[in-house]
Structure 1
Amino acid sequence: MGRDNVTWVSEFILMGLSSDRGTQAGLFVLFAAAYLLTLLGNGLILLLIWLDVGVPQMLVHFLLEKKTISFARCGTQLFFSLALGGTEFLLLAAMAYDRYVAICDPLCYIAVMSPRLCVALAAVSWLVGLANSAMETALTMHLPTCGHNVLNHVACETLALIKLACVDITFNQVVIVASSVVVLLVPCCLVSLSYTHIVAVVLRIHSTHGRRKAFGTCASHLTVVSMSYGMALFTYMQPRSMASAEQEKLVVLFYAVVAPMLNPLIYSLHNKDVKAALSRVLMRRSALKQ
């Protein structure tokens, strides 16, 4: 057939999943709901990042002479920062317990770490994190400042905000310490206890390959735990007289900029599929050069 006799179509007809109108209507509702949930979930993630990290705001402030933030936005940023930070510390403790069961009692892992327990641990972490944040934010934002509004910080942070208060802040300091014990010190102790048992069990493994595999299972989690708890404990659990504004700024910058940048790298490089894909890419590039 000659090229001049070929008929070129201007559109294609998709058969879809069904030709029945009733079925199509049901599928429309089902997939539209799923798509809306997808948009809502991803939109919520973006909103939390915008409210919590505050990096875009800091970037803008680098270029502005007058660096301001509204009272409402400051309180919102403080709430999400405390909520997500506290929840992260609690979830890391739950993950440490998961690693403990997986390595110290592997035969009972499925029975112990049931979906119900996993949901309960996640729910408790979120509830405690949100409740703690709501209490601390309310107490902090209700402090009178007598007109003082110059915040020596890069973001709205509890320790910087209470320094503006023109009333006695002893109660607020007690709340901060108590809060740090609940969402930071106690989870940190639980993580340390879990890894003490894990190390004891791993050291009894005679096979070098077995020990390496066991430690590899915990490596990414332990790295994140060390970074997260280390910086927070150094800042919030030391006497207030020893804390400096510059140190507090560095801690916020670490959690806002450095930690989010390192987390994908830490978790990805300990993922078997990612490492295998990286190895294949490097091998292909090496072969091409040869």
Structure 2
Amino acid sequence: MSAGTASDKSARVTPAHIRAMKGERPIVSLTAYTTPMARLIDRHCDVVLVGDSVGMVLHGLPDTLGVSLEMMCLHGAAVARGLERALLVVDMPFGSYEEGPAHAFRNAARIMAETGAGAVKLEGGRQMAETIAFLVARGIPVMAHVGLTPQSVHVFGGYRVQGRGADRARVLDDARAVAEAGAFAVVLEKLPASLADEITAAVEIPTIGIGASAGCDGQILVTEDMLGLFTDFRPKFVRRFAELGAAAEAAIAEYAEEVRARRFPGPEHVYADTPQEAGR
């Protein structure tokens, strides 16, 4: 896969392609939870992640901990129907892999079978290395995730920046451990930029940043964040590339006004008694 294949619809992106992009052009990634959004994203991105952020963005949960395996499979299958070329990666939700490698394999295999995903993503560093190696050895590509891991939010005491001060060595060790275990890429979340750059130079697999550094091998954002559709809170690392939430609310308000004033539906939106009169 050449560096310029983002617009090549003839090639389905695979984990091996992403792995080979280390040091080449930046890897573009976004989240999706529905078929229509997947269709919009597909031609522009290398990786589409069905993140467990779906729990907060679409289901109104306070965090990702309440997301179930069934939810991930449902949304993963929906996104798969909207993709032609991007690599589909599905998050393993909290409680679906921490018990041990065999438990993780059963659930990862279910995700792959029910969604058609090309890979799964799981959170954790050195403590998850054995599980990552177990999955990879059995044919399940794994994207790792270190730094701020939202499923551990209560352990961290909130959504805090990781890897500062004495904690720097831990995060670097986590990244090295998941790379050595066989992950094909690693997400770096909410780290000092200098640490993200150090990790990117230290590991042989691509790093995908979210609140990390422009020097990472790629970037990912939650699509609803960058489009201004999710407005409950806004992390520092989010850039709004559009304000679709405000535009949608304005359209809804206009619709409501038109209905109450009986200006909608107009003559052009209703049907006549005969097809001839309606012109169709």
TM-score, L = length of structure 2: 0.22
Considering fraction of residues, name the structure with more strand. Answer: 2
Larger Rg: 1
Q: Which has the higher contact order (CA 8 A, sep 6+)?
A: 1
